[in-house]
A and B are shown apart, each in its own frame.
Chain A
Amino acid sequence: MADIPKPVAELLEAALVGELTVVDGDGRPVTYPLIPLWDGEHVYMTSSILFSRKLEHIHGNAKVSVSITDPIAVGGRHDRALIQGDARVIDDDPHGGWERLLPIWEAKEPAIVAFLKVRVALPLFFERALIEVTPRRVLYWSDGDASTAPQETLVATGEAA
């Protein structure tokens, strides 16, 4: 298990949306709203190949961050978090490889299973890659207020840094 603060893990599990920020070829940040999926070790996100520019950026620079900021997307909680980490794009099988995350995706977006059954209507949307983020550093604002300094946690994982 990755050693991230419990409230941050709860935020990740609750959040319907988070912001993935990647670094483009010119060293500039690009932010994408995506559904964060937490398995206790990594933050996962999935991206359709249709919207794969973010995947290209990660291929060029693995350093990313995931922020959870929207109180509405976390059921009214006001705490906020930033997880910095190293991302890996898993696109060995864009057609079905991502489906291993379907159970935790469905928990946040139940309609996705119904959409998948009619993938003939949106075939390219269901050609997808996984983005696996290994947390390295976590910043946590317990009251969500940026005028107070965040709690910082350096994350120790079982993997080599």
Chain B
Amino acid sequence: MRSTDGLDARTGLDKLATFPYQIATWVGDDGYPVSVAVDARISPIELVARFAGPAGLAVPTDREVSLTGSHIRPQPGYGYDERRHVTVWGRATALDGGIALTAERAWGWDESEVPFFEYSERSVGQSRKYFDALSVERGTPVRPKLSLGFLTLRATRLPFLTATIVPVVLGIMIAATHGSFDLVAALLTIIGASFVQLGLNVANDVFDTASGADDANVTPTQFSGGSRVIQYGLVSFRRMATIATVCYLAAGAIGLILLATHGSPALLVIGVLGFIVSIGYTAPPLKFVYRGLGEVAVALGFGPMMLLGAYVVQTGGTLAWEPFVASIPVALLAALILYVNEIPDRRGDAIAGKRTLPVRFSRTTVIAGYDVAVSAAYVVLVLAVVAGILPVPVLLMLMTIPLALRVSRGLMPYYDNPYGLMSIMGVNVQLHLRAGLLLAAAYAIVLIVGAVAPEVSLFI
């Protein structure tokens, strides 16, 4: 019952036969519908359902009659689940004292086949149509609403700011261990970088709507498929474009302040490249994510650029290997957030010509790619410690390996189940966040040890 509207009569009868009873319904002579529970004998091969005529009620033979099956499972204290229903329409004829209904068409829904969230997403067009009709009737726009707080949260995808905060805070902390720390500059860096990501998130919705990628996606989740605020009519396309522009302007203004107060050639180069990568992520002509380069863009943007950018603001332009190497595992884990989130989007992305890696490659290759990249994050970390580039406490990040294993093991069974994959996508986001927090904790240890026992080296 994948397509609720396109169910053929035979399949409808097959489904109807699985219900313990059926509800025969017709429109009475007075115009009111009449429904009565019957026990039908169903023959899908003949396209016929036979049932005894109900006492005291004449089943008409001059108009359509329907048979409906409906099921839920009560869940005390919660509500219910296992919803499914099917209706078959046809003409009834009197036959051997009973009624025979010859099926002509059918319609239904089974949430075990089309999950509720997908069913809802497929119905968004009906929602738009109804709101448009209400607007015409009242002579004023009637639109769905959300509180400003929820709308901001949803439209900007605010919770994903951890992808920015992790590398920026890490860059600031590494600079602090190198003897450079300016609180105001640190705060400005966090705010400016956050505006870049918010601009990116919103611009991503704008360009994915323009390309049709978000409209083609009927299985969005809280981690994938965009914010949907344009599709749902919560925010107009034009307003989202304005919000993206304002975010980039705010980021640009803060960037100029930092250039004026803590400027260096390194910061200028990183800032310009960061803007290009951020805007070019979905915007033409670069459209990195449409060319399968989204992961590279995210790795660069949310790894070396954010971390080194924050570092050079603090150090006045001095570059070092340590922040660059520290950014590599962070970059890989950030790119893997996008990589996993693209898996449920791949059908809609393919329709819109968005050739992401999960669109291009097989399930086996994509999962192997995850394993290689996540392993690389830990291997780089350990090698950097052994080589004396990173301090020993950063090995705390190895505590996140169980999370990486959970993601890796969850990809195969849920690869074709967007809603089953949601928990795995959540763990993958947690993996990046916790790895970042542990790296930050490692540098907090370095700072504390440096303050209380400067003679102790935490490098091999």
Contact = CB atoms under 8 A, between A and B. Distances in A.
Interface of A: 16-17, 19, 21-23, 27-31, 33, 48-53, 55-56, 61, 63-65, 67, 69-70, 72-73, 75, 80, 82, 84-85, 91, 94-95, 108-112, 119-125, 127, 136-137, 139, 141, 144, 146-150
Interface stretch (B22-30, B189-197, B347-355): B22-30
Nearest to B84: A33
Nearest to B31: A63
B122 to A, nearest CB: 9
Contacts of A49: 126-127, 130-131, 144
A65 B130 contact: no
Interface stretch (B63-71, B167-175, B241-249, B359-367): B63-71
A120 B153 contact: yes
- Among A19, A119, A146, chain B packs the most CB atoms within 10 A around the CB of A146
B89 interface: yes
A19 B70 contact: yes
Given A31-B66, A108-B79, A149 B123 contact: no
A82 B35 contact: yes
Given A29-B25, A95-B145, A124-B124, A84 B32 contact: yes
A29 B64 contact: yes
Given A63-B32, A112-B79, A137-B32, A148 B21 contact: no
Given A29-B25, A109-B80, A64 B70 contact: no
B120 interface: yes
Contact of B34 (A27, A82, A136): A82
Contacts, number: 174
Interface string B122-141: 01101101110110000000
A127 B144 contact: yes
Contact of B144 (A55, A75, A111, A124): A124
A16 B64 contact: no
Interface stretch (B49-57, B208-216, B287-295, B368-376): B49-57
A124 B72 CA distance: 23
Secondary structure class of chain A's binding surface, majority of residues? mixed
B35 to A, nearest CB: 4
A48 B232 CA distance: 13
29 contacts: A16-B80, A17-B80, A19-B25, A19-B68, A21-B33, A28-B63, A28-B66, A29-B27, A31-B87, A48-B120, A49-B131, A52-B129, A61-B31, A63-B31, A64-B32, A64-B33, A67-B37, A69-B21, A70-B70, A82-B35, A82-B36, A84-B33, A94-B131, A109-B78, A123-B234, A124-B144, A127-B145, A150-B36, A150-B57
- Among B27, B73, B78, chain A packs the most CB atoms within 10 A around the CB of B27
Given A64-B33, A72-B74, A82-B36, 5 more contacts: A94-B144, A124-B232, A137-B32, A149-B55, A149-B57
B25 A21 contact: yes
Contact of A146 (B55, B68, B150, B154): B55
A33 B83 contact: yes
B222 interface: yes
Nearest to B77: A110
Given A144-B37, A147-B54, A119 B150 contact: yes
B120 A50 contact: yes
Contact of A23 (B33, B56, B234): B33
Contact of B127 (A17, A65, A124): A124
B109 to A, nearest CB: 9
A147 B38 CA distance: 9
B37 A146 contact: yes
- Among A52, A64, A94, A127, chain B packs the most CB atoms within 10 A around the CB of A127
Nearest to B65: A29
B184 interface: no
A80 B77 CA distance: 24
B142 interface: yes
A150 B146 contact: no
B52 to A, nearest CB: 6
A103 B64 CA distance: 38
A78 B204 CA distance: 55
Given A33-B85, A51-B126, A69 B33 contact: no
